[in-house]
Homo-oligomer: A and B are copies of this chain.
Amino acid sequence: MTRQDLFEQIQARRSMLCVGLDTDLAKLPAGVDALDFNKAIIDATAPYCVAYKPNLAFYECSGLPGMRLLDATVDYIKSRYPEKFLIADAKRGDIGNTARMYAKAYFETMDFDAVTLSPYMGTDAVLPFLEYPGKFAVVVALSSNGSAADFEYEGASKPLYQTVMEKMMDISTPENMMFVVGATKADKLDSIRAFCPEHFFLVPGVGAQGGSAEEVMEHGANSMGGLLINSSRGILYASSGADFAEAAARVASETARL
């Protein structure tokens, strides 16, 4: 799926929403099977989003049954909603020999459009993912969690997240790379867009983590859309009752709308 395809979906849906499928078995409504839950969430939110992002930890934690749930969820999205941009939230990052195997896992064995990657070990960890036309490496630059400041601002002349983005921009194009930018404040987004105007940003931290989608869209969008705004818990667990799907649709319809 190309950047142009994704931009057209954003225009068609009037939405920059990515629904994070962090499906926690301990939070499912009573009596609801995990796959049925995912299918109901997907059907309910599809009119209001352009992307889905299963978080692999929530599937790996259940072992083989979890991996079967992930496979079935991916198959369901790909068969029913082939226009959706599908992101494996994996935060992988390893030497080139190993990165090639992860790229194979998510781009060949499974048919994701994108995978999130950790940049710590440098460009080796990312390069194999750039060799797949129409697929994207989504490199974590600035995260939205409490300890983001532990290391992501390190640096002599500029913060590490900027050094990461500049180095990664050198080896990629906006057609095969995006960045995780957990900035929900206007001034930070403005300063990041100043040195990275073209790439899509996957923005976590709205909804349960407290950021404002409106401020992100005002300061982070570009002429090709440029934003995927993720919400996970705020949508999945909007209601813990039998009306969970309707509640998810309602929150999705109100999040990251153009």
Report the copy number of this chain in the oligomer.
2
Give the number of chain A interface residues (Cβ < 8 Å): 57
A57 at the interface (CB under 8 A from B): yes
In-complex Cβ contact of A71 among B64, B93, B102, B156 (8 A): B64
What 1/0 flags go to A182-211 for Cβ under 8 Å of B? 000000000000000000000000000000
Confirm or deny: A8 has a beta carbon within 8 angstroms of a beta carbon on chain B.
no
Quick check: which of A122-130, A212-220, A249-257 contacts chain B, the rest being far away? A122-130
Residue in A97, A110, A164 whose Cβ sees the most chain B Cβ within 10 Å: A97
Is residue A80 within 8 Å, beta carbon to beta carbon, of the partner chain? no
Tell me how far the C-beta of A92 lies from the nearest C-beta in chain B, rounded to whole angstroms: 7
The 10 closest A-B pairs by CB, nearest first: A122-B147, A122-B150, A57-B101, A95-B145, A60-B105, A124-B147, A61-B104, A61-B101, A61-B105, A63-B109
A 135-167 binary contact with B (CB < 8 Å = 1; else 0): 000001001111111111011100010011001
B152 touches A120 (CB 8 A): yes
Chain B residues with CB under 8 A of A101 = 24, 55, 57-58, 60-61
B118 with A120: CB separation less than 8 A: yes
Is A222 an interface residue when CB atoms closer than 8 A count as contact? no
Q: Hey, which chain B residues are within 8 Å of A152, CB to CB?
A: 120-122
Most buried by B among A62, A93, A99, A120: A120
Contacts of A156 in B (CB 8 A): 154-156
User: In the complex the two chains form, what is the Cα distance from A187 to B67 in whole Å?
Assistant: 44
